[in-house]
Structures are given as structure tokens and as C-alpha cells.
Amino acid sequence: MSNFALVTGASGGIGLDLARLLAKDKHDLVLVARSEDKLKEAKSSIEKEFGVNVKIIIADLSLPEAATQLYDEIQKEKIHIDILINNAGYGDFGSFASCDWTKQERMINLNVLSLSKITHYFLPAMIKSGHGKIMNLGSIASFLPGPMMSTYYATKAYVLSFSCSLANELKGTGVTITALCPGPVDTGFVAAAALEGSKLFHSFKPMTSPDVAAYGYRRMMKGKLLAIPGTMNKLMVTSVRFSPRKLVAFIVRKVQEKR
């Protein structure tokens, strides 16, 4: 069995930048997303630039059975996943009462269900081999209530809680888990979440995706649980620990509302 790193949501944004960092360190890759053309482009440019082997799998991980199908496909290829990056995810801006439920349900499937299932499938072989690294994409939303994006913030709270618990369970196994929790990042996320009109990306200067990926990658390689890129984000996360949740929800709403 050969070792590969698996990155979900690798057709663009933070996932693609993480894939490039892995390739630079000579890791062979399995890249997953829905956009076949973008994945093919990523495969050829990464293989050419870094000389590693890149496999692509087209999958819509917002469908409940997609994670199982992904695992089966990788098993057939006789590949061992020693680094897993659960990066695919999206948000949706708007009040919960008026939201498109299908979009919320698919978001929960992607951000929570598939992330958990994929981890569940690949973790036992990592433990058996005595080493492995997992990164889950949280957000500063993991630490906050998020009016006008309530489901998204709740999915990211799950990711952080889940990652912290697993870090404890995995002590001494050689497998580490990292929750990368960025603030606003300049990627396709804004359009996917219909956030163009929100104050969020105008009130805070977004970080660049390569910077966020590089920070997260370093933390993952050191086996650190938390990766919060940027001083402002670190300060914000610390300050909300001591603030009433109602007040935090009020402030988040003010920041997120339409301009």
C-alpha cells in the first residue's frame, strides 16, 4: 500500500493551497471536489511543478452517501491515507426562518456528516500504522454564535468540539488532529455563502489563502490542536471567552449584517 494525503475541497481556495504545500514536501495526493475541470487543472499543475502523483476524485460530499463511496473508491486503489485534510465546506448568509432548507441540510451533510464519516473511515488504519495527521477546517465561527449564518456557525462549533475530543482520545497513538480556524479569507467562500453584501468582509481585511494554508500546515506538521491564523483572530477568540454569549451574538450580527 502506498501513502497518500487526502484533501477535500481541493479545487480552489485554502484546500488547493494546502495541497500545494503537501506536494512541495513530496506527498502524493488524492484531491476531492465537485469541479472536474478545476481538479484536472490542479492535478496537472501540481504534478508538473512538484513531481508527485496526484489522483482526483469527483464527489459531491453534501450527499449523505458520498463519504462512503469516496472511502470505497480509495480502498479499491490500495492507497493508505496518512494525512487527511477535511477542508470542503460552505456557508449561507440569511435569517434562519427564511433560508433555503435544502442548502442548509447539504451544508450540515458537508461540514459535519461527511467530515465525521471520512475521519471515522480513515482513522483506524492511521492508528494501526502508529502515525497520521488530520486537519479539520473550523473557523473563528467555531467559537461564536452567528446570527444570519446560524447553521454555518453551528457546524463549525461542531468541528472544533469534535477535533478537541479526538485530540484527547488520540493521545499516545501517533495520530494528531488540528483544527484550522481562520477569520475571513479571500477565497470563493464569499460567493458560495452569498456574503457579498455583508459587512463582514468589508469590516475586516481578509487574509490571503496561501498565508492561512501555510500557517495551518505548520501547526498540523507540529501536531498542534489549534491553528488560529492572525493576531486579531487570536485576540478575538480569547476575548469572547469572557463575554456574555448574548452580547457576542449581538456584535456578530452587527458585523455580519448587510451594508
Ligand X SMILES: NC(=O)c1ccc[n+]([C@@H]2O[C@H](COP(=O)([O-])OP(=O)(O)OC[C@H]3O[C@@H](n4cnc5c(N)ncnc54)[C@H](OP(=O)(O)O)[C@@H]3O)[C@@H](O)[C@H]2O)c1
CB of 240 to ligand X, least distance (A): 16
Q: Which one of 4, 29, 83, 87 is in contact with ligand X (CB under 6 A)?
A: 87
CB of 174 to ligand X, least distance (A): 26
* Closest of 144, 170, 20, 151 to residue 98, by C-alpha: 151
Does position 229 bind ligand X by CB under 6 A? Answer: no
153 counts as catalytic: no
CA 203 to CA 189: how far, in whole Å? Answer: 16
The region of 21-29, 127-135, 183-191, 224-232 touching ligand X under the rule CB under 6 A is 183-191
**In degrees rounded to 5, what are phi and psi of residue 186?**
-80, 95
Close Cβ partners of 84 (under 8 Å, ≥ 6 residues apart): 5, 6, 118, 119, 122, 126, 132, 133, 134, 135
Burial 109-140 (b: 16+ CB within 10 A, else e): bbbbbbbbbbbebbbeebeeeeebbbbbbbbb
Number of residues that bind ligand X (CB under 6 A): 30
Does position 61 bind ligand X by CB under 6 A? Answer: yes
Site for ligand X in 36-55 (CB under 6 A): 38
Question: Where are any strands of DSSP class E within 129-189?
Answer: 132-137, 175-180, 185-186
Does position 230 bind ligand X by CB under 6 A? Answer: no
CB of 98 to ligand X, least distance (A): 22
Does position 210 bind ligand X by CB under 6 A? Answer: no
Binding residues for ligand X, per CB under 6 A? 8-15, 33-35, 38, 59-62, 87-90, 110, 137, 139, 182, 184-185, 187-189, 192
Query: Catalytic residue positions?
Result: 152
